[in-house]
Amino acid sequence: MKNAKPIRKSSSRITDIVEQYPKDRQSLIPILQDIQDRFGYLSEQALDRLGGMINMSTNEIYGVATFYTQFRFSPPGEHNVRVCQGTACHVRGGQQILREFQHRLGIDAGQTTSDGKFDLERVACVGCCALAPVVAVDGKVHAQVTAKKVPALLSQYTGNKDTAKT
Ligand code: FES
């Protein structure tokens, strides 16, 4: 997500979000979704602030949020890489492709590279099964990706021919 906003002044914005919902545990998921939409991720600071408002500990909230793959806990990168792990992509090597991205970028799914260039997500079907296996970068779908094609694909976004290690 390129439109992530700084977490500064987050307290009042989190208050604005929480005020739209009943202050109970059933509201937790939609509140977390709104916070992520607003800031691009769930920061520790945001979860602390939220916990005080809905009477849950940060650890409890974190425990719930980590159950769902939709939530991220680090700031989004400049480029968002989504590797499909739906059935059609999985049977055509989706896992190996994800592993190759993890290796090349030096991060796990759900993380952002230290230079902030890429964040990596594992996603379910992105609706292009006929093109499987599929990777979407910044929303652009790349069809019939293989692990061998990963370096060239990444270099389109870095301009660096040997992104990264071999
Ligand atoms: S399973 Fe990957 S696009 Fe449908």
Q: Which residues of 110-125 are buried (b: 16+ CB within 10 A; e: fewer)?
A: bbbbeeebbbbbbbee
Ligand 1 center to residue 84 CA distance, Å?
6
Q: Looking at domain 79-158, does it have CATH number 3.40.50.2000?
A: no
Q: How far is the CA of 92 from the centre of ligand 1 (A)?
A: 10
The identity of residue 123, as a single letter, is V
- Estimate the share of the chain in helix, then strand, then coil, as percent rounded to the nearest 5: 45, 10, 45
> In a mutational test of the pocket of ligand 1, which residue from 91, 92, 125, 142 has the highest number of ligand atoms less than 8 Å from its CB?
125
Which region holds residue 164: left if phi is over 0, alpha if psi is between -120 and 50, else beta?
Answer: alpha
Tens-digit pLDDT string for the chain (166 aa)? 444 444 445 667 899 999 999 987 889 999 999 999 999 899 999 999 999 888 899 999 999 999 887 888 889 999 999 999 999 999 999 999 999 999 999 999 988 999 999 999 999 999 999 999 999 999 999 999 999 999 999 999 987 665 544 4
User: Start-end ranges of CATH 3.40.30.10 in the chain?
Assistant: 79-158
Site of tokens 């700084």:
6
Q: 133 preceded by cis ω (within 30°)? A: yes
Phi and psi (nearest 5°) for 136?
A: -110, 125
Provide the residue type at 11 as one letter: S
CA of 4 to the centre of ligand 1 (A): 26
In this structure, the residues whose C-beta lies within 6 A of any atom of ligand 1 are 84, 86-89, 125-129, 132, 134
Strands (E), the chain: 79-84, 118-123, 135-137, 140-142
SS3 24: coil
Structure tokens at 106: 């030096």
